[in-house]
Structure 1
Amino acid sequence: MVDVAAERGRHLSSRVSEAGAGWRCQAVGTFKDLRPNDQSFSWLNPATLWRSRNEILAGLFGDPSGEVRKRWMAYQRGKGVDPELRIRPPVGDDFSFLLLGDPGEGDASQYALVPGMLKIGEDTDFAVIASDVIYPTGSGNEYCDKFFRPYQHYRAPIYAIPGNHDWYDGLGGFMRVFCDAPPLKPQPDRGLRGLLWRKPERIDEQALAKARELRGLPEQQAVQPAPYWAIETPKLLLVGVDTGIRGELDADQVAWLRRTSLDPRPKVLITGKPIYRRNDYTPSPLEGGGTIDDIVRDPAHRYVAAIGGDVHNYQRYPVDVDGRVIQYFVAGGSGAFMHATHTVQRVDVGGVREEDYRCYPLRGDSLSFYSQLYARRLRMRWLYLTPREAVCIMAERIGIKPVRPLDGPVRITRRMRWAARVLGAWPWPFRLPVDKVFHRFLSELSDWDTPPFFKSFLHVSVRGSELRIRCFAATGCLPQEQDPPMEDEVVISLPA
């Protein structure tokens, strides 16, 4: 089924037309009927920001994730989980799965993904969530409408690795839902960090049991051994790592990762923090020295791809590593507010050519999106750029041809170029916050509840000796629900 859908999706993507991007949305999708209420998740709330304070505290006073993770792992090993943390789903030589990144806001942008995900993923064997299952703080009391309800009709197991937001609850919600682990006993943390640190919420077990009924079918059940794991299949090993709040892997996890990476099968890394993002190289550090990419690049470990969440869009970097190509993905666009792509300059990191780089949303659509956002919220109409204008401006800025065909000439004026500068298309000191500061503190301003949403998910399949990774889009518009656009596809030959 997915091959037919992919063939249709290839011709319906944002690379082909504005309609494929969702700009000409005349009918909102059926996702609106799946939502339990009309409430919108908002970061522009002092209570929400205060609940998320552990990110800032971890930066100021140190990240305790590694020590807390060791306590979780001691408990899990004490109850007898597989010491090598292997998951063995009943799949054959050929199989497929879905990958969702950073989904859990529980609002329109998360639910907009669901109809296309169910259609494309109908025959998949399982799904994986990469990073930030639940916003804002990973609470076990918020899993009903942000996990069980949206994915209640996905008839296969779902595994996950946590993101930084899941750790704001001390990983309590994540471990209860995915590992069936009770809360850890409180342990005092002295000093200012201990005084200000947000403590895990007490989980309403009765409400959680009721929520679990939404995914109560036998074929949906799975208990994973830990927040990091390896999924075994005959031809491929999926290696999921837990990057905590700040991105560092603790010594015990590093030792496990090195052992696991010696498995002779080809491998895909799934991580909470992408190794390449925004034309930058940001591999997670390892306790004891080195980075996670040292392990990925080692030819003896046979990694063919690395997929990371955390950044809320899709990007792909094919990196030549000593004569072999490793595909590095950003795949965090499955529900949370959109991070800009138009601020990504002409790509050259890791020797990747701009012509080989892929992103979704396209830079032009990202620029038009933000121009509409600021024009509306700041009441500054001169900032508005149509999708056609933005596509042409970004093509000129990057030095490429417009990514999709244009129905007629486009005249770029001085006003349009100034608007693009103010919106961050050029490095410029006088611009609205859309780059690094925006990325961490103010991106939440871009959260809106009307199409197009520019959400995405991955369909990953192994057929014969090929690993195929496809990026499908969700705009929130009915046509893209019925025929999800395929925004990117790469085929990787698996070594024997």
Structure 2
Amino acid sequence: MTALHPELGSEPSRSSTGGAGWGCRQPGIGAGLAPVDNRFSWLSPGPLIASRNDVLARRLGDPTDGQRREWLRRLDAYAEAAGAPPPPRDRLVTRFADRDSISVAVLGDPGEGDASQYVVVPVLERVAGDTDLGIVCSDVVYPAGGVRAYRDRFYRAYAGYRAPLYGLPGNHDWYDGLTGFMTTFCDVAPDVGEPSPDVPGPWWKRVVRRLLWRHAPKATAQDVAEMRWYRDEESQQAVQPGPYCAIDAGPVRLVLIDVGIDGHIDREQGDWLREVSAGDRPKILLTGKPLYTYAHAQPCPIEGGGFVDDIVTDPANNYVAAIGGDDHNYQRYPVRQPDGRTILYLVAGGSGAYLSATHQIPNVDRLAPAVHEEDFRCYPLRGDSLAHFSRRYDRVLGLGLGRLVISPDDATTLMAERVGITPPRAGSATVPARERRAADFIFPLPARGTAPAHNLMSVLFDSNAVPQFKSFLRLDATGEEIVVSCWAATGCREHEIDPVLEDRMRATRQPDGRWAWTSETPGRPVP
């Protein structure tokens, strides 16, 4: 296996239902690696109650920007007290800067700590165990941060991954005031407490927020030492200079931003982003919320004016891709710019949390001429998503009688009809009337709402049943070529041994210095 051309293993979901994991002959070993007492369920009230800061912040005032500024001030103060130089103003990690080539694993929204996270581990170690570094992109732990939660959701889960791991926080990581994240990634003492900045607003909102706000659970240095035992090799160590930073990774610069709870960046971070984005080095943005998802643009506002996507699309900044978490699946949007360039926008949040339905993604031609349906990809396929959720709906809403179950072949045909596309793999010639009625019942169920259940039905009907439809990215880059590969983790043993490559995009540097993306999707070349 070479860095830029890993050999293909099992056939992908576009080629067969078996490639998607349907009819799995033997469950994999990944699920068995999860702690036996760590069954995570969004159907229980505990995770939703623990996530209440999301609702409180949106309704009563969000302290995130003030807390972030205080965390950065603390990092400077800690360095001064220790007689060490302060974190660089550009918050730039340079330990990989002299590499001629680089390989990076990107794990999006992994941290439930149960089987749905651990099924990814054998595939990660199989196809990305040789990468130079990894990045956890959004929602490192669920449901609401906390230092102790990192034991099973970070340290234990990736004990076998030998390279350093960096991170960028998602909204769930902010529900403890970012204490767990700052302890894990920035080496802050776990007992310093979360910042408590003043939040403007009416007095009654401040009082209610103070009464209901969930504060960071306590932890000690001994707790952290015991957790770090799982990842104590020298090659695994990394300290980053804040919740947002940039990594000069050989021929590319990886820019990690922190969009807090509600999906914006503060004024200071916006100024930093403009500075760190300048120059000819090709750049890839990594963010806690995607800039394109569900066939909609989410440009990410900056406090004081402007949008993150304005910076990404500025030709002077030479961005080639933007990768975001938060939605728990894989989506690919190669977006053509007015000047003829193409920037690759990816959703990569499928590395462990509940599956976000893809059958609710409309025909992407609605974004034309910037991007067309024929260039869009998702994992799971829309039909597999419909088949997967029909089983959960049948069990919970249909009393397990089978009346809501839709087969993968029938779901493939139904979704092709509904979206108006050619089926990505062969479906059924005729769909039974019962399954059409089941689809008519399932489609109106809401799939996208407001946090903490931002994919409402996906949250409530979470399942650890095989196939799991998890995924992660491997990024390989040289000075002339960038390859982004989406690897699947179905939960089947055969796919742990011979992993499934679901999608691949390759960018090559052109004579004029621009980067041109081409698709190398395995299987049938349609969405």
Shorter-chain TM-score bucket reads: over 0.9
Amino acid across the alignment from 1:394: M
Does the 8 A contact of 2:91 with 2:246 survive in 1?
Answer: yes
Q: 1: CA distance between counterparts of 2:197 and 2:299?
A: 32
In the alignment, the residues of structure 1 paired with residue 233 and residue 389 of structure 2 have an alpha-carbon distance, to the nearest angstrom, of 42
Deviations 1:288-328 (A, max 9, x none): 11111011111111101000000000001011112110000
Alignment pair present for 1:326 and 2:343: yes
Say whether residues 1:361 and 2:380 are aligned partners.
yes
What is the CA distance between 1:188 and its match in structure 2?
A: 6.7
| 1:57-81 Cα deviation digits (max 9, x unpaired) | 1110222111100001111233211
Counterpart contact for 1:40–1:449, Cα < 8 Å: no
Residue from 184, 196, 218 that aligns with 1:187: 196
How much has 1:35 moved relative to structure 2? 1.7
CA distance in 2, matches of 1:30, 1:470: 23
| Percent of residue pairs bearing the same amino acid type | 47
- CA contact 2:141–2:150 (8 Å) conserved in 1: yes
State the match for 1:19 in structure 2: 18
The answer to whether the 8 A contact 1:470-1:488 is kept is: yes
Tell me the amino acid that sits aligned with residue 375 of structure 1.
D
Q: Report the aligned-residue RMSD.
A: 1.8
Q: 2:435: which partner in 1?
A: 416
Structure-1 residue corresponding to 2:132: 125
Counterpart position of 1:458: 473
Distance change >3 Å, CA 422–CA 111, structure 1 → 2: same
CA 1:2–1:449 in structure 2 vs 1: closer, same or farther (change >3 Å)? farther
Distance of 2:64 and 2:197 partners within structure 1: 14
In structure 2, the CA distance between the partners of 1:4 and 1:222, relative to structure 1 (3 Å rule), is closer
Number of aligned positions between the proteins: 487
Which runs of 5 or more structure 2 residues have no equivalent in the other structure? 80-85, 199-205, 515-527
Q: CA deviation at 1:386?
A: 0.3
User: Do the aligned partners of residues 6 and 404 (structure 1) sit closer, same or farther apart at CA in structure 2, a change above 3 Å counting?
Assistant: farther
Q: Which residue of 2 aligns with 1:302?
A: 318
1:254 aligns with 2:270: yes
Segment drifting more, 236-245 vs 36-45: 36-45
Aligned to 2:260: 244
Question: In the alignment, is the contact (CA less than 8 A) between 1:188 and 1:194 conserved in 2?
Answer: no
Query: What secondary structure, in the 3-state scheme, does the structure 2 residue paired with 1:41 have?
Result: coil
Q: Do structure 1's residue 235 and structure 2's residue 223 form an aligned pair?
A: no
- Could you say what secondary structure the match of 2:309 adopts? helix
Q: What CA distance in whole angstroms lies between the structure 2 residues aligned with 1:343 and 1:385?
A: 16
- In structure 1, stretches of 5+ residues that fail to align are 425-430
User: Aligned equivalents of 1:64 and 1:2: distance in 2?
Assistant: 46
Q: CA deviation at 1:340?
A: 0.3
Partners of 2:170 and 2:326 within 8 A in 1: yes
Query: Quick check: 1:434 aligned with 2:447?
Result: yes
Q: Note the 1:44-193 alignment, pairs <5 A.
A: 44-78=43-77, 79=79, 80-90=86-96, 92-182=99-189, 183-184=192-193, 187=196, 190-193=206-209
1:456, 1:2 → 2: CA distance? Answer: 21
Residue 475, structure 1, aligned to residue 490, structure 2: yes
Task: Name the CA shift for 1:14/1:143 in 2 (closer, same or farther; >3 Å).
Answer: same
Matched-pair contact (CA < 8 Å) for 1:99–1:128:
yes
Please state how far the C-alpha of 1:4 moved relative to its aligned partner. Answer: 9.3
Distance 2:480 2:445 in 1: 48
Q: Distance in 1 between matches of 2:196 and 2:109?
A: 29
| TM-score where L is the length of structure 2 | 0.89
How many angstroms does 1:92 deviate by?
A: 1.4
Q: For the structure 1 residues 3 and 237, does the alpha-carbon distance in structure 2 shift closer, same or farther, using more than 3 Å as the test?
A: closer
TM-score by length of 1: 0.94
CA distance, structure 2, for counterparts of residue 142 and residue 150 of structure 1:
12
Give the Cα separation in 1 of the matches to 2:479 and 2:279: 20
How much has 1:50 moved relative to structure 2? 1.3
Shift of 1:38: 4.7
Deviation digits for residues 171-208 of structure 1 (CA, Å, limit 9, x no counterpart) = 00000010011334653754322221111111132122
Secondary structure at the counterpart of residue 347 of structure 2: strand
Per-residue deviation at 1:93? Answer: 1.1
Residue 225 of structure 1 pairs with residue 241 of structure 2: yes
Measured in 2, the distance between the counterparts of 1:110 and 1:308 equals 18
Secondary structure class of the residue paired with 1:8: coil
Give the drift of 1:5.
7.8
The answer to whether the 8 A contact 2:334-2:376 is kept is yes
Aligned to 1:370: 389
User: C-alpha displacement at 1:123, in angstroms?
Assistant: 1.4
From 402, 405, 409, give the equivalent of 2:426.
405
Using the TM superposition, give the Cα deviation of residue 42 of structure 1 relative to its aligned residue in structure 2, in angstroms. 1.1
Question: What is the deviation of 1:89?
Answer: 2.9
Question: For residues 5 and 498 of structure 2, what CA distance do their matches in structure 1 show?
Answer: 7
Question: CA–CA distance in 2 between the matches of 1:4 and 1:21?
Answer: 24
Distance 2:26 2:5 in 1: 21
Deviations 1:253-312 (A, max 9, x none): 001001001132010000001000001111211001111101111111110100000000
Q: What do the CA deviations read for 1:340-366 (whole angstroms, capped 9, x no partner)?
A: 000111112442111100000000000
Of residues 505, 519, 524, the one that matches 1:490 is 505
- Cα deviation, residue 484, structure 1: 1.1
